[in-house]
């Protein structure tokens, strides 16, 4: 496991590592209200689909703690609906946010007739369970995906899908960690991931701490390295996977998938089944978050461009046809994804 904690529930507070400060500083933010948790999600103190889901669940538990025990169940349910709606407005693309909120709301619905204090304690337990389950899930993703990683290979990854994006082990980096821990001779190339530089700041920080060989490139170098035969596979995470296999991930992922397909390099997506949205038919139905232009035009508050505005979509859609397989905790899913992922939908019904 990692030497840092992405997020934890401690003394009726939510603590999360401030990912905006890495790698320069390892500092933690303390949240005592659901509004503070929502702001941390919105401002990228915490990011990564599974980690956002955990934060939302803990935010709901914090919100419940602020409600008096003398209110009626109906009033409690109404106030919790407002809290969940507030959290749901933070980031639109990562489906784990909505998955975790729905799970917490289902628990509330099952608690009709219980004392309010008991419901609040059950919500805390549920949020902590979501965190614990994520670690187990990611370790299984790593185990399943490591079978795809060949000895003496170089793996390219984009953005950060490691411990910082989850409860602590990672999806794409979980696959890499598992392969490395099995003794495979592998190394990683991390793209910097403009404009927020999650690859440069976060992925390299994680892998360096684990002793896993990693080199950094600018986003525009990937095609050149692939053409020279330097890259053997690409492994990325996901923020939402549609039922046909189309995948939303950090902006720039689509370009990498096109390059990988052109050069005959396997392109893998690692994600928990909670990131698979079986109600979403295709990538066309996924909302792409548009972030502030200043993330592109400025670094550390200093303008690096001319006095112009910028286009800043946070994610793009990788079509299913470009994905070799989806790596999940329940196994590998292969094309056609409408058929293979359809088994998940039937299981949920």
348 is catalytic: no
Beta strands 233-236; 153-157: pairing state: parallel
Pick from 97, 171, 81: which is nearest to 130 by CA?
A: 97
Burial of residue 300, with CB atoms counted within 10 A of its CB: 0-12 exposed, 13-18 middle, 19 or more buried: exposed
Q: Which two tokens stand for residue 286?
A: 């996924």
Q: Which of 70, 134, 219, 239 is catalytic?
A: 239
Burial of residue 294, with CB atoms counted within 10 A of its CB: 0-12 exposed, 13-18 middle, 19 or more buried: middle
CB 209 within 8 A of CB 198: no
**Displacement of CA 143 from its chain's centroid (Å):** 18
Three-state DSSP state, 35? helix
Distance CA 223, CA 219 (A): 9
Pick from 209, 200, 217: which is nearest to 177 by CA?
A: 209
Bridge partner list, 190 = 157, 216
Catalytic residue set: 239
């Amino acid at each position: 496991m990692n030497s840092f904690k992405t997020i934890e529930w401690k003394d009726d507070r939510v603590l999360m590592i401030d990912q905006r400060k890495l790698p320069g500083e390892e500092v933690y933010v303390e949240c005592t209200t659901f509004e503070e948790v929502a702001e941390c999600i919105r401002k990228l103190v915490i990011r990564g689909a599974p980690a956002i889901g955990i934060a939302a669940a803990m935010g709901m538990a914090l919100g419940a703690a602020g409600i008096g025990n003398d209110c009626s169940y109906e009033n409690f349910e109404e106030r919790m609906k407002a809290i969940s709606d507030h959290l749901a407005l933070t980031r639109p693309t990562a489906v784990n946010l909505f998955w975790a909120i729905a799970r917490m709301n289902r628990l509330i619905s099952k608690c009709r007739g219980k004392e309010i204090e008991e419901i609040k304690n059950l919500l805390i337990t549920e949020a902590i369970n979501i965190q614990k389950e994520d670690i187990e899930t990611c370790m299984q993703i790593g185990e399943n995906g490591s079978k795809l990683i060949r000895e003496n290979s170089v793996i390219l990854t984009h953005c950060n899908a490691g411990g910082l994006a989850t409860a602590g082990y990672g999806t794409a980096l979980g696959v890499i960690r598992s392969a490395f821990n099995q003794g495979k001779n592998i190394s990683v190339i991390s793209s910097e991931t403009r404009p927020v530089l999650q690859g440069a700041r976060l992925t390299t920080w994680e892998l360096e701490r684990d002793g896993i060989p990693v080199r950094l490139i600018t986003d525009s170098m990937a095609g050149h390295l692939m053409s020279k035969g330097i890259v053997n596979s690409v492994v990325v995470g996901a923020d939402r996977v549609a039922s046909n296999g189309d995948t939303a991930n950090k902006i720039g992922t689509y370009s990498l998938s096109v390059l990988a397909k052109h050069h005959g390099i396997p392109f893998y997506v690692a994600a928990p089944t909670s990131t698979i949205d079986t109600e979403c038919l295709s990538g066309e139905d996924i909302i792409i978050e548009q972030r502030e232009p200043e993330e592109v035009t400025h670094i550390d508050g200093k303008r690096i461009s001319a006095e112009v505005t910028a286009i800043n979509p946070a994610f793009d859609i990788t079509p299913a046809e470009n994905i070799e397989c989806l790596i999940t905790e329940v196994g590998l899913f292969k094309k056609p994804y409408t058929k293979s992922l359809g088994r998940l939908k039937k299981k949920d019904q």
